């Protein structure tokens, strides 16, 4: 897996200090500043401590199975702002190189919020996943199914939960829109439908989920 984060601190210096402080017990393989400077902090073959309690496609040891990249950004707590062009360009280059070295399926290119929806928001709805997908990195739901194939109002919460779980999220099929499901839906929206993140599995959300599942089944990308 490749897991993207934001640092969520007031300055790049503070974030890098923390990532290099053994007492903080947090680390990532790379950090990228807003001006595009890339720091290699942990060798790729070593385990870094960036994901915490996480889940994706049946795996809970996300730290042991992933490369983590921290993008310098104050985050939702300290003045969330767009990721600037030099930072995105550097990320694209770094990610391309990582994907050339490791067989990471497109559907395992994720945000921290995808693997820990109840705890994390990063890298957040301002992160341009669509751009990355256009560059061949990760997925984006382009081929949406016909609107009339997806019910406008969904009582089928179990169906949404099954689809979320099939795609990779930790979703338990309870048939009710509980807090855990709202968190998973929000995480999905934050990544794949960032203009409306409200935790409601509306038709637009379900169409995107169906498109991604159809695409991953068709391409068998892992
Ligand atoms: Zn994170």
* 46-92 residue pLDDT tens: 999 999 999 999 999 999 999 999 999 999 999 999 999 999 999 99
Q: What angle do CA 200, 205, 207 make, to 5 degrees?
A: 145
Question: Which pLDDT score, from 0 to 100, does residue 117 have?
Answer: 98
CA 89 vs CA 82, 138, 158, 192, 215: distances in Å = 14, 15, 40, 20, 26
Question: Which pLDDT score, from 0 to 100, does residue 151 have?
Answer: 65
What is the count of structural domains for the chain? 2
Domain range enclosing 38: 2-134
pTM over 0.75: yes
Do 122 and 179 fall within a single domain?
no
What separation in Å is there between the alpha carbon of 145 and the centre of ligand 1? Answer: 32
Rounded-to-integer distance, Cα 18 and Cα 141, Å = 36
Sign of the alpha-carbon torsion through 54, 65, 101, 26 = positive
What separation in Å is there between the alpha carbon of 4 and the centre of ligand 1? Answer: 7
What separation in Å is there between the alpha carbon of 199 and the centre of ligand 1? Answer: 20
The catalytic site residues sit at 70
Last residue of a domain, one of 81, 107, 134: 134
How does pLDDT run across 13-55, given as a tens digit for each residue? 999 999 999 999 999 999 999 999 999 999 999 999 999 999 9
Do 156 and 89 fall within a single domain?
no
Residue 142 maps to a domain: no
What separation in Å is there between the alpha carbon of 75 and the centre of ligand 1? Answer: 10
């Amino acid at each position: 897996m490749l897991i993207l984060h934001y640092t969520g601190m007031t300055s790049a210096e503070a974030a890098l200090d923390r990532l290099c402080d053994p007492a903080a017990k947090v680390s990532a393989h790379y950090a990228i500043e807003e001006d595009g400077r890339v720091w290699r902090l942990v060798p790729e073959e070593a385990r870094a401590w960036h994901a915490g309690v996480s889940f994706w496609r049946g795996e809970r040891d996300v730290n042991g199975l992933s490369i983590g990249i921290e993008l310098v950004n104050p985050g939702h707590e300290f003045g969330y702002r767009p990721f600037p062009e030099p930072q995105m360009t550097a990320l694209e280059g770094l990610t391309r190189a990582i994907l050339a070295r490791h067989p990471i399926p497109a559907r395992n290119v994720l945000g921290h919020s995808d693997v820990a929806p109840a705890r994390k928001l990063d890298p957040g709805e301002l992160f341009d996943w669509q751009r990355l997908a256009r560059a061949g990195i990760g997925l984006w739901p382009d081929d949406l199914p016909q609107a009339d194939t997806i019910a406008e109002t969904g009582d089928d919460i179990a169906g949404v939960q099954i689809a979320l779980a099939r795609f990779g999220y930790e979703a338990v099929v309870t048939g009710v829109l509980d807090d855990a499901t709202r968190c998973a839906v929000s995480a999905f929206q934050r990544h794949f439908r960032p203009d409306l993140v409200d935790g409601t599995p509306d038709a637009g959300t379900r169409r995107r989920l169906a498109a991604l599942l159809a695409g991953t089944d068709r391409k068998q990308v892992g």
